[in-house]
Structure 1
Amino acid sequence: MSITSAMPTAKKRKTRTRTPRVSNRPAIIVSKMLPNLIDLLPGTESLVCPDCETWCPITGHDGHTPKLVPHHTNRARTPGRHRCIGSNRRVQIDWTIPQWQQHLADAIKETSSRRATNVLRKPKAAVAPAVTQITPRPLTPETARAAYRTHVKQCPARCTSPARCTERTRLAETVARLTRQEPRRQQVRAILARERARFDQAYAAQAAKERAGEWAKQAEAKVLRSALAKKAGTATEELNNTCRIHPADTVSEFRGPGLSLEPLRITA
């Protein structure tokens, strides 16, 4: 004969116990715990057991030996109960209720100030092109003349005479050469602008021609669909496009001689 017993479960923790037993472990000092792990309000005195990390009532808080009530390591009615080693452990309450409430308010204020700030992502800087990919700006007579004036202003006293400064001589020759070549460059730029405008016009005309061809194909397809619909029968098309309300006990006009109007019979 086999005897089966249910698995023991954790019991509900009593708020007050009359056992004289006291644990020989060191007492729990309330001031060394976090204020949110303690509840010193009258009638609900409890704290989180340091051993099993569950809320446990404090008994004898109004006497000389406050201690934790005997409890299990799990919540009430949890299978696999086990007596916590923190049962009957003494509690040293060195805070008053106003002191505990003040410490709890300070902790809440400090925690609320630790909110995460919004992450401001830095914009990604564009990758600088390689030296071989840099296109130099074309040199014009105006920029060459400005460089010549800047050199004359910033050059030492020995640049008073063009013959004694090679840089001033080079800049003066560059200004003269660009001024002499500027009319030809203007002609080349005008030719390039005309060719660019002609290419844009040809591209726009080709696009308009292709668009007109697509519209013509769509119109032809529409006409072909209409012709095929006329061949199928004008009466059918008119009936399809007409919404009629059929009176009761009438037969629809969509019928044919080969359509059976009798109910389907299933034979075994």
Structure 2
Amino acid sequence: MARNRKRPGKVRTKRNNRREPLLLSTMAPEDYNVRPDEVMSIACPDCRTWRRIMGTYDLKIREHCISGKVAEGTEHTLCPGSNQAVIVDIDVRRWQVRQDRLLREAMPQDNRRAAQQFYKPLPAPAVPVSRITAEVTLEGARQSYLAHRKGCIRCVGGQHCLDGGPLARRFVLALQQDPARREAEREAVRQAHRQERARLGFRAAQWDMYGTTVEAANNQCRKRESDTLSEFRGPGLPMLPQDVTAYDRRQAELGKQYGRKRPAPSAT
């Protein structure tokens, strides 16, 4: 049996079936195979059998018969689709990607599943209470030690288990540090009170320094009655400049500057 070679077949004739060239874009994507690493083949449009595409540049469907089985004494009938010219007018790479996706989707689920199974890792065991590093208070250490001692059968008298020993030492350490901690808290409260008193004293000193002026200004804010003139209006309000000579000189200079400016051209 001849091996199906990957190199393109040799076209031994220049004849064709005198039909219009067959465009692959007009056919269903599953009716032809143009993978670069495989022999190109196509389903004949006439007999619907898979046939090889011959040639390198001038592509044609290989000459074949309508049926491979005939009655004894009769001749084979040549298929009209033999020597049909074929034109590859598609994007081969895009077609190959689409065909690969269709093959994966059609594959059974058991075959698509990975050979190696990945399981969710088990959570780490909880850290014992004796190893938890958190803020230690006297009441918290006492409750932890008593709760452990109540449920542990090894902690009897002055004897402790591996977990009860650290809890007992933590409770004793909290007892020793509790007076200093309470004194530090009281000192922090006293410091906060001193800062608040200093802030209020500074504010009072500011009012003592500027309070009279501000109070006098506030007292002058009185309600104005309707139909009355303001103190900033009337015959007593000065209308002339303080230095009349300097004012006249400045006005004369401004007049000369305006006179030297060119007049704007009129639109005529």
Give the TM-score, by structure 1 length: 0.32
Greater RCO, 1 or 2 (C-alpha within 8 Å, sep 6+) = 1
